[in-house]
Structure 1
Amino acid sequence: MRSKNLKPSRKLVVSSSSEESSSFARTIDDSKLSVAWKSAAKVLKVAAADRAEYEAEKASLADQLKERTALWKYSEIIFPGDDASPVAEQSLAPPVADNMTKEEVVRLRGKVSEMEKALSRARDSINRTQQSRLNAVTIELSCKDTEILTANNEAELWKESLKKKKLETMAENQQVLALLSTIEKQKNDHLHHQSVVTNNTDLLKKQDV
């Protein structure tokens, strides 16, 4: 009677958690990078709005300056007429108005100069703030790159470890199969030997009869 061949019960299960973990880590990193870039874009947007507001106010002041200058020049012109005395009175009467116009022009020019200086200071402050934030974002991105590289290296090491374990398991399975084959062969040899002994015993009995 032949016994059934034994089958190895050891199985290898390779998990895909490494790929899921790597994908999850990349999702988190992408989210953080998106937040950092949105923060930098917000700073640039605020700077652009401040710049546009300044340009609009500067243009308004420039128009006022042109109007005041034109009015001042126009008041200095003497137009000939039928009666020169009213014109002379008009040209000589408003020196105070001329002085006020000149003072207004000087005031507007000073205000424009002050605004340009204020804009320059604001621009320098914004540039420093932007540079500081960009440096912070750059450092953060560099740290994230390092973390990603570290995670990738760990994943590669884990994959190599899995490959090694798989090869070891395959080698052990081969050894088990070889052992089972040896046992089966020994069993067959034993059965054959037992059959030979039985036949020899029967022959001896027949000879004795």
Structure 2
Amino acid sequence: MLTQTRTQAKLTRWTEILSSCDRFGYLTTSQIQRLHNLGGRRNTTRILSDMGEFLSSFREGETVWYLNARGRKEIGSQTQRRRTLHVQHTVIRNEVYIAYRPEQWRVEYTVKWDDKTIIADALFRVKVGGPYTFLEVDVTQATTQNERKIALYRGLCDTGRWQARNGPFPEILYVTVSEHRRKRLTELLAGMNARVLTVNEMA
């Protein structure tokens, strides 16, 4: 009976990890470790190695995991993923989720008004009824792209339309990859309810 219980617990954990990989797309070893409270790094690596038939992986600073065809079939996922240039962006966005564990989390959140559109990397709030945050992940965007997007956020805030429907305008949280980019973004966001963090500060 003890063996059966252990086997069931193992299968449950595997299913939970596969479901997280499906939900978040790409997760690093340390992200899976924290999401599923797997204890030490060694234990996490062992579990993920045991699950190798269901997962593909590659190195991007550390090992990044995602569902392979067998893993998708195991949990009934239709979403096929491959290694792309967008992976680092997704991993950083997932890092924000793990840091805040928000109760509401919507990726690629679109706001339209007049003839304008903003697609935030995520809209979240830590507690239902609490303040919203727009998340932007900045990895390789040109300064002009960031300038345009921040100008759109300013314009949306100035219309008052968000506030009329949803309450206070969200804080804008930018997470970027270097101190240089952080300084530039901080300048662009001057006067707004905004923060800029580097990835290292999220860890």
TM-score by length of 2: 0.20
Higher percent of residues as helix: 1
If asked which structure has higher relative contact order (CA below 8 Å, sep 6+), I would say 1
- Larger strand fraction of residues: 2
TM-score by length of 1: 0.19
